Amino acid sequence: MDPSVCVLELLGVSLSLTAWLGSLTTTLMSRWLTLSTELLPAESYELGLWGTCVVQELGILECRPYDSLLGLPPDIRLARILMLATLVTGVMGLMLAIPGIYVVNSCRGTDSLVAKRTLKMLGGTMCLAAGILGLVPVSYVAHLTVLRFFDESVPDVVPRWEFGEALFWGWAASFLHLVSGSLLLTSCFCLQGEPCPLPGSIPLRGTRDNPETSPERRTEYV
């Protein structure tokens, strides 16, 4: 088999793990939205999925968790649910894709090639689903922030929330999820012939490859 297929598999799994870590960082970060006012230049505010924070001028960070889930704004509640779904889907994609790549010695038996390809396809599909799930809340929160920022009905003196670092982390993680899923599925479609040789395996060559020289075919003449 073409060694590039193995490269696609390893790259897809590596990007999937990186994307999951990025989604976890996005979920835990408090800087989904930021706000600063001219009246209090020494303080700035941060809005996350789990609470709000106040940043003092000296770098002191004070955070307060939300009191109630039902009392959350609809966009924050939706973003929290979808980001948790992204993490679960991403883990499932990794758990399916890792045993499906051919450098991992698993799925023994006559149907091992079919089983590995099925696991890898399911893992790639789950990675694509994780990318879409992670892209929706980040883009939705960003869309609402833009609408509120340019809302002409709100006086100009009222401070407005702006994009935080977590939104960019979420976009990057979703993009990596989509790329990793595409690589895994592409490796399935390009797969032809035998799988990549496992580490430490040595192909047997010699007399067994040539039926003319095998012991069973030898004939002595007197």
Tens-digit pLDDT profile for residues 113-150: 788 888 999 999 999 999 999 999 999 999 999 999 99
- CA dist 82 and 104 (Å) reads 31
- CA dist 96 and 164 (Å) reads 33
Torsion of CA 93, 97, 98, 103, to 10 degrees: -160
Tens-digit pLDDT profile for residues 40-96: 667 888 999 999 999 887 777 888 998 887 788 899 999 999 999 999 999 999 999
- Burial pattern 178-200, b for ≥16 Cβ within 10 A else e, equals bbbbbbbbebbeebeeebbeeee
- CA dist 29 and 38 (Å) reads 25
Q: Is 100 helix (H, G, I), strand (E, B) or coil?
A: helix
Closest CA to 178 of 48, 47, 20, 29: 20
The tokens of 146 are what? 């833009």
The per-residue pLDDT for 108 is 56
Report if pTM > 0.75: yes
Question: How confident is residue 214, by pLDDT bands cut at 50, 70 and 90?
Answer: very low
Q: Is 47 helix (H, G, I), strand (E, B) or coil?
A: strand
Output the CA angle 174-35-82, nearest 5 degrees: 30
The tokens of 69 are what? 């889930």
Query: Is residue 203 pLDDT above 50, yes or no?
Result: no
Task: Domain 3-30+71-194: give its CATH code.
Answer: 1.20.140.150
- Neighbouring-strand partners of residue 36: 44
Burial class, 203, CB count within 10 angstroms (exposed 0-12 / middle 13-18 / buried 19+): exposed
Question: How confident is residue 100, by pLDDT bands cut at 50, 70 and 90?
Answer: confident
Averaged pLDDT, 200-211: 44
Q: Is 25 helix (H, G, I), strand (E, B) or coil?
A: helix
- CA dist 166 and 73 (Å) reads 18
Q: E strands within the chain?
A: 33-36, 44-47, 51-55, 61-65, 162-163
Q: Where are the domains of the chain?
A: 3-30+71-194
The per-residue pLDDT for 205 is 45
The tokens of 132 are what? 């879409």
Query: Is residue 170 pLDDT above 90, yes or no?
Result: yes
The per-residue pLDDT for 194 is 47
The per-residue pLDDT for 29 is 94
The per-residue pLDDT for 62 is 87
Tens-digit pLDDT profile for residues 6-46: 888 999 999 999 999 999 999 999 999 999 876 666 788 89
